[in-house]
């Protein structure tokens, strides 16, 4: 039996009709389970048990970059993958395994199930959620869409199946810019949800007419612009890598803004020895592997204006552990169950995104422009 203590978390819970710029945000309260520490000996036992169970269950482990390094290692050494949310979706859909075990947060497991309804999708803990998902309830979102029928509805992958079922397009941070630029080029006006910072960034980069839901990620929202300036003064030659869920004052100081995979690519390819990184600290494990010898410094979440709700590690990603992963495989617990009709409707915007990504990748390969491969990133200069 796995035990865990509960940690209370506040998150931005936009009001029913967040139409206006700067619309008032209520504060929602959620919980994350903090896993009990596990001894080194027990961890070794659990890992070998998980390897056996993955083989026994014809299962593959699909992990996000933000989960614990030991889970990332296990995914890689057992033929699974560690990836950003876009690649996780593609990998799970295309893999022949009968069971997908998704180590990440709830929307990632749901996306896997939507794309592979015939497969069993397990998660170490189904309560591992996301403040963006929590802050965008389907009924309120649906009312928002009803009020703006002239707009193309684009939702971030960090949403429930019910919200996706209301959307025309899904996007992840790896492809949001390209998709919105495409829709803008077609003359479409966008209704965007839920991340207001990513939405504002995409709006600024593309010039698209976008109406933004006012949600936020409680991890990235904590990065501090003023404190980042002070840190940059200490490391004047460091490049700054920023996930676009971060506030505008942080994004404005970035050398590169991109998804988790795009940030790793930048760490590997940019000619710098030091990097300041504004995203979940789980990503540093992969960055250090991808760019050995380079130094990675966490962007500040502390300082005068800090509340340090997250300290740069997603409390829900942290709910994925070896013990509950073993339990899920052993007992089939943590299975994602979705209404098939809802899954079919939610699949439409995700398929559109994946088809768009595939044709973008083909175009990029054909043009030989390797700087714009699937791990495309956008470079902006610090202000």
**173 is a contact residue toward ligand 13P (CB under 6 A):** yes
In the window 316-355, what residues touch ligand SF4 (CB under 6 A)? 316-317
Q: Residue 129 CB, nearest distance to ligand SF4 (Å)?
A: 8
Pick left, alpha or beta for residue 246 (phi over 0 → left; psi -120 to 50 → alpha; otherwise beta). Answer: beta
CB of 150 closer than 8 Å to CB of 137: no
From the list 16-24, 167-175, 302-310, 348-356, the region that binds ligand 13P by CB under 6 A is 167-175
Tokens standing for residue 284:
């540093």
**103 is a contact residue toward ligand SF4 (CB under 6 A):** no
Kindly provide the residue ranges of all beta strands, DSSP E only, lying in 15-91, ordered along the sequence. Answer: 25-35, 59-64, 81-83
* Gap between the Cα atoms of 26 and 242, Å rounded: 26
Cβ-based nearer residue to ligand SF4, 137 or 184: 137
CB of 194 closer than 8 Å to CB of 155: yes
Distances 216 to 135, 136, 164, 318 between C-alpha atoms, Å: 8, 10, 17, 19
From the list 17-25, 126-134, 319-327, 360-368, the region that binds ligand SF4 by CB under 6 A is 126-134
**First-residue to last-residue Cα distance in the chain:** 52
Q: Residue 48 CB, nearest distance to ligand 13P (Å)?
A: 29
Q: Residue 120 CB, nearest distance to ligand 13P (Å)?
A: 23
Residue 218 touches which of ligand SF4, ligand 13P, none (CB < 5 to 8 A by kind)? ligand SF4
- Of the residues 111, 158, 159, 310, which one makes contact with ligand 13P according to CB under 6 A: 158
CB of 224 closer than 8 Å to CB of 305: yes
CB of 195 closer than 8 Å to CB of 215: yes
- Of the residues 116, 158, 160, 259, which one makes contact with ligand SF4 according to CB under 6 A: 158
CB of 355 closer than 8 Å to CB of 115: no
240, 235, 192, 198: which is closest to 219 by C-alpha? 198
Cβ-based nearer residue to ligand SF4, 222 or 255: 222
Tokens standing for residue 40:
């080194």
In whole angstroms, what separates CA 127 from the centre of its chain? 16
Residue 316 touches which of ligand 13P, ligand SF4, none (CB < 5 to 8 A by kind)? ligand SF4
**12 is a contact residue toward ligand SF4 (CB under 6 A):** no
**252 is a contact residue toward ligand SF4 (CB under 6 A):** no
Instruction: Count residues binding ligand SF4 (CB under 6 A).
Output: 13
CB of 109 closer than 8 Å to CB of 126: yes
In the window 25-84, what residues touch ligand SF4 (CB under 6 A)? none
* Gap between the Cα atoms of 62 and 81, Å rounded: 5
Q: Residue 310 CB, nearest distance to ligand 13P (Å)?
A: 10
**219 is a contact residue toward ligand SF4 (CB under 6 A):** yes
CB of 191 closer than 8 Å to CB of 145: yes
**72 is a contact residue toward ligand 13P (CB under 6 A):** no
Q: Residue 145 CB, nearest distance to ligand SF4 (Å)?
A: 21
Cβ-based nearer residue to ligand 13P, 128 or 329: 128
**173 is a contact residue toward ligand SF4 (CB under 6 A):** no
**278 is a contact residue toward ligand 13P (CB under 6 A):** no
**160 is a contact residue toward ligand 13P (CB under 6 A):** no
| β 4-14/25-35 pair status | antiparallel
* Gap between the Cα atoms of 22 and 254, Å rounded: 24
Q: Residue 51 CB, nearest distance to ligand SF4 (Å)?
A: 27
13, 9, 7, 8: which is closest to 27 by C-alpha? 13
133, 164, 112: which is closest to 346 by C-alpha? 164
From the list 19-27, 75-83, 216-224, 226-234, the region that binds ligand SF4 by CB under 6 A is 216-224
- Of the residues 217, 241, 278, 329, which one makes contact with ligand SF4 according to CB under 6 A: 217
Give the interface with ligand 13P as residue ranges (CB under 6 A): 84-85, 158, 172-174, 217, 245, 259-260
Binding site for ligand SF4 (CB under 6 A): 105, 130-132, 158, 217-219, 245, 280, 314, 316-317
């Amino acid at each position: 039996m796995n035990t865990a203590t509960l940690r209370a978390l506040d998150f931005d819970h936009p009001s029913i009709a967040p139409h206006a710029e700067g619309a008032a945000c209520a504060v929602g309260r959620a919980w994350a389970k903090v896993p009990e520490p596990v001894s080194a000996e027990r961890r070794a036992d659990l890992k070998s048990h998980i390897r056996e169970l993955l083989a026994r269950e014809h299962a593959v482990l699909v992990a996000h970059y933000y989960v614990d390094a030991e889970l990332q290692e296990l995914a890689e050494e057992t033929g699974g993958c560690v990836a950003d949310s876009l690649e996780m979706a593609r990998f799970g859909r295309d893999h022949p395994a009968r069971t997908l075990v998704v180590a990440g947060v709830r929307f990632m497991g749901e996306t896997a199930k939507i794309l592979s309804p015939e497969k069993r999708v397990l998660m170490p803990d189904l309560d591992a959620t996301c403040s963006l998902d929590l802050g965008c309830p389907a009924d309120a979102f649906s009312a928002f869409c009803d009020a703006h029928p002239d707009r193309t509805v684009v939702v971030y992958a960090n949403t429930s199946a019910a919200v996706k079922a209301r959307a025309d397009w899904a996007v992840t941070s790896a492809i949001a810019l390209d998709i919105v630029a495409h829709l803008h080029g077609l003359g479409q006006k966008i209704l965007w949800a839920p991340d207001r910072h990513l939405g504002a960034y995409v709006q600024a980069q593309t010039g698209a007419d976008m109406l933004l839901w006012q949600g936020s990620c409680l991890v990235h929202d904590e990065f501090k612009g003023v404190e980042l300036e002070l840190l940059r003064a200490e490391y004047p030659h460091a490049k700054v890598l920023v996930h676009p869920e971060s506030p505008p004052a942080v994004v404005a100081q970035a050398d590169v803004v991109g998804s988790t995979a795009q940030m790793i690519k930048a760490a590997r390819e940019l000619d710098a020895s030091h990097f300041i990184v504004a995203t979940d600290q789980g990503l540093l494990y992969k960055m250090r592997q991808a760019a050995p010898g380079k130094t990675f410094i966490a962007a500040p979440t502390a300082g005068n204006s800090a509340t340090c709700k997250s300290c740069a590690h997603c409390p829900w990603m942290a709910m994925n552990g070896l013990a509950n992963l073993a339990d899920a495989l052993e007992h089939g617990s943590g299975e994602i169950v979705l209404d098939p009709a809802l899954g079919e409707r939610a699949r439409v915007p995700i398929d559109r995104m994946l088809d768009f990504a595939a044709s973008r990748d083909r175009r990029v390969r054909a043009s030989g422009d390797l700087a714009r491969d699937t791990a495309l990133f956008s470079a902006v200069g610090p202000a």
